[in-house]
């Protein structure tokens, strides 16, 4: 004998804490790792080793990251990071650039 117990609990919101599959998951651990790898690529692309990045050097960075539009990305990167507008990314500005690169979703795959 099967007896269904029917409880009327319709006045309680059932799915208040349901997970939304489309919601971005919070990832904090990988972020720092990505940053470190991007800084590594930046250093490799600093051809004249002056710790200042010219447009040409930044374009190489985006090429290394596999960007399809390195010139466009360079333009936007400078727009975001070149605070004093002198046409190159100095040591103080490079952090903003790295944040920008991480922000647009470039991750560095090793191997």
Can you give the binding site for Ca ion, defined by CB under 5 A?
46, 48, 50, 52, 82, 84, 86
Do the Cβ atoms of 59 and 74 come closer than 8 Å? yes
Helices (H), 46-104: 55-64, 70-81, 94-103
Reduced DSSP (H G I as helix, E B as strand, rest coil) percent helix, strand, coil of the chain, to 5 = 45, 0, 55
By beta-carbon proximity to Ca ion, the closer residue of 27 and 84 is: 84
In angstroms, give the least distance from the CB of 109 to Ca ion. 25
> Least CB distance from residue 42 to Ca ion, whole Å?
10
Q: How far is the CB of 52 from Ca ion (least distance, A)?
A: 5
Nearer to Ca ion, 30 or 50 (CB): 50
- Nearer to Ca ion by Cβ, of 14 and 39: the residue is 39
55 phi, psi to nearest 5 deg: -60, -40
């Amino acid at each position: 004998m099967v007896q269904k117990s029917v409880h009327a609990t319709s006045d309680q919101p059932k799915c208040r804490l349901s997970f939304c599959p489309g919601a971005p998951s919070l990832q904090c651990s990988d972020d720092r790792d990505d940053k470190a790898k991007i800084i590594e690529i930046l250093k490799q692309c600093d051809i004249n080793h002056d710790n200042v990045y010219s447009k040409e050097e930044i374009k190489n960075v985006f090429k290394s990251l596999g960007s399809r539009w390195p010139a466009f990305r360079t333009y936007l990167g400078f727009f975001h990071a070149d605070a004093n507008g002198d046409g190159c990314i100095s040591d103080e500005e490079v952090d903003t650039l790295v944040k920008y690169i991480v922000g647009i979703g470039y991750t560095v795959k090793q191997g």
